[in-house]
Structure 1
């Protein structure tokens, strides 16, 4: 069922969050394992002076220019607008930590850590690099989306044997035993992550009695085979025996899973996304699958399927990391025991705040954003 923004429900959620704020420090979170150094660039469309230029506005414009260079060559200037900490663990973790949850991150920020991660590390309870350097991402921003060109071939070293060696001191297991939630992100960029998940289930996390929330994010799996996607879904089942599993994907990732499973892709209507979310959840035999789009989000649990519209932003200040902030808000709702529709609202609000401000929301900022959303007072 599609739920529009319902001012009364947004205000009720804001009221609920006011009381929840004092409990976040008692809900520790563990996250792993990726980190990226993101260089955000704009392609110059027209240079007016040494100080000013008009960026190439859309991905289609870029595509037309690149296509016209076929059989010849092409040259374009790009401007690096900022260098930021990136990667799903870092971006989602920044959202989680900014909301006040004690975060222990096992994230490849480098040894010593790359300076770009200083703010993230300061927000966390602890960050363990697991001896891994960050990946690198050239993030090409356009008005209608982004193209990301990533370098992470060294992530192939992240195998079960490597992970066993890095967590042999027991710190990871202890952190997980104390955690209310455990989020494992960016499956797509690690060739052996499915095997690592199986190792965690069978040798590291087995025997935990408190049944934490498990949360999984894939990052775009376009470069992975259909067989690898199916094996990944099968591996999620193992975590369900230890805790409650949620898989969170965007629309593009959901349809890639649909093709791998040979089931119908979703289209433009909410019903098709609800069907797909539920089919993926059922096939994976897990507690929940959520799908977030730019203007709405859907989640399917064993009891219900719900869609909530979001505070759409036509021209984001920053779009890279928006899905990760949705995940931070949604996961916060899981940890606080919110109902599915309110989890989606919290995810949409967290993402909506981020794309407008280019930073994660604090608890008070998120509550204020919900109030403004309820009053139709946010800029789209």
Structure 2
């Protein structure tokens, strides 16, 4: 066991009593998720063979081009979804106090999100979207309906919650996470509203963390993306800003920032993005590794990969939750990468988020669990 990993475990054990003193506010999206597998074949007893790899399913669809086809789906379950509700569930599992300021349903919270009420304070700002997640062993295809989320804007969020309530949430939180930028069409105006109506009335505090996850930005315009990245620089004046990206999102951000440059290695793209944006930190995670830049320091560790995940939808959100938890606990960038990977690693193996003891146990068994 390396020094950083062992130090991370010892810090978590010695500071477990501090967890309940941490407060996080998360927003703004929410979805109702239906998790399905795509049937490749079945016998007379309905024993299914699924498409295991995304390219297998893709090749099947390409073969049907110019024709029609019918695919059978096997529904696994329906659950709460959206980056912020999944992160809220994961962070509350380790004992953090969570305010979930998300589109959980109006006028009443949708019953599927009621499970959060026992461990989180719920502040609904609108109605959730709906998602169908096609799961494969090497990834997933998420089909999302966002009509209700696209109705969200800063004016109706203020009208629903009230400016003073939002100020209180920001003031009392050690970490604010605004995630799934691409899922809400008016996110930039919401960013601007928070800057103008909330943060300008509160003192800057760089001990507080502002975590952002853009999600898959491939369907958003270059102008919108560059505006969002510019607004993050303004948040950097008030909080420690941490931008989380997966491998695909890193490539998309790089392309939008440097449209005239060829795609380069992931580490080099991360270096270039970090230097260009001048944020406090960026974190990139892939199936096999995760990387972080913070105040001119760099860390990289292997991911806690498994070839046969029990559930992959929500794995990235659990990674982000573990990352935020590590940052809240003062574990540094490398230690926080370990808590991020241990959280997501536990989640994909067990289809649920870890509690603090599960997290520590996963870290202690890191070398045994890792399948890379």
Q: TM (normalized to structure 2)? A: 0.94
Residue 187 of structure 1, CA deviation: 0.3
Q: Does 1:77 align with 2:72?
A: yes
Shift of 1:8: 4.2
Residue 129 of structure 1 deviates from its aligned partner by: 0.9
Q: Deviations over 1:256-309 (max 9, x none)?
A: 000001165665xxxx33332232233223101110111111111123111111
Pair 1:118 & 2:114 matched: yes
Partner of 2:218: 222
For residue 204 of structure 1, report the CA deviation from its aligned partner.
Answer: 1.2
Aligned-partner SS, 1:110: coil
Query: Which residue number corresponds to residue 123 of structure 2?
Result: 128
CA distance in 1, matches of 2:200, 2:262: 35
Query: Take 2:343 and 2:299, find their aligned partners in 1: how far apart are those partners?
Result: 18
Helix, strand or coil: the match of 1:153? coil
- Tell me if 1:61 matches 2:61: no
Matched residue, 2:351:
358
Deviation (angstroms), 1:58: 1.6
Instruction: Output the CA distance in 2 between the equivalents of 1:84 and 1:193.
Output: 25
Contact 1:258/1:265 (8 A) holds in 2: no
In structure 2, what is the Cα distance between the partners aligned to 1:49 and 1:140? 24
Tell me the residue number matched to 1:95: 90
List runs of 5+ in structure 1 lacking aligned partners. 1-5
TM-fit CA distance, 1:55 = 1.1
Residue of structure 2 in register with 1:335 after alignment = 328
Which residue is 2:239 aligned to? 243
Hey, what does 1:172 align to over in structure 2?
166
Alignment pair present for 1:139 and 2:133: yes
In 2: Cα distance, 1:377 partner to 1:302 partner: 31
Separation of aligned partners in 2, 1:28 and 1:134: 24
What is the aligned counterpart of 2:272 among 269, 279, 288? 279
1:168-207: CA deviations, max 9, x gaps? 2511210110110000000001111011101101111223
Cα separation, partners in 2 of 1:300 and 1:36, compared to 1, 3 Å: same
- Aligned partner of 1:191 among 167, 178, 185: 185
State the match for 2:15 in structure 1. Answer: 20
What's the secondary structure of 1:73's corresponding residue?
Answer: coil
Match of 1:3 in 2: none
Any idea what the Cα deviations from partners look like across 1:103-157, whole Å, max 9, x if unmatched? 0111111132222222223221x10111x11110010011211111100122221
Asked if structure 2 preserves the Cα contact closer than 8 Å seen for 1:278 and 1:305, the reply is no
1:107 and 2:108 aligned: no
Change (3 A) 1:116 1:309: same
Q: Distance in 2 between matches of 1:305 and 1:9?
A: 14
Q: In structure 1, the residue corresponding to 2:117 is in which secondary structure?
A: helix
Tell me which residue corresponds to 1:86: 81
Q: 1:353 to 1:117 in 2, by over 3 A?
A: same
CA contact (8 A) 1:107 1:128 kept: yes
> 1:285 and 1:202, CA in 2 relative to 1: closer, same or farther beyond 3 A?
farther
How far did 1:327 drift?
0.6
Partner of 1:258: 254
Q: CA RMSD in A?
A: 1.7
CA distance in 1, matches of 2:141, 2:235: 32
8 Å contact kept, 2:310–2:350? yes
Secondary structure of the structure 2 residue equivalent to 1:122 = coil
Measure the CA separation in 1 of the matches of 2:87 and 2:184: 18
Greater relative contact order (Cα < 8 A, sep 6+): 1
Q: CA deviation at 1:60?
A: 1.4
Is residue 316 of structure 1 aligned with residue 312 of structure 2? no
Q: Give how far 1:7 is off.
A: 3.9
Contact 2:307–2:371 (CA under 8 A) maintained in structure 1? no
Question: Which 5+ residue runs of structure 2 have no aligned equivalent?
Answer: none
How far residue 218 of structure 1 moved from its aligned partner, in angstroms, is 1.0
**Aligned runs of 1:292-311 on 2, under 5 Å?**
292-311=285-304
**1:236-266, Cα deviation, whole Å (9 max, x unpaired):** 0111111110000101001000000116566
1:346-377 CA distance string (max 9 Å, x none): 11111111111111010010000011114x25
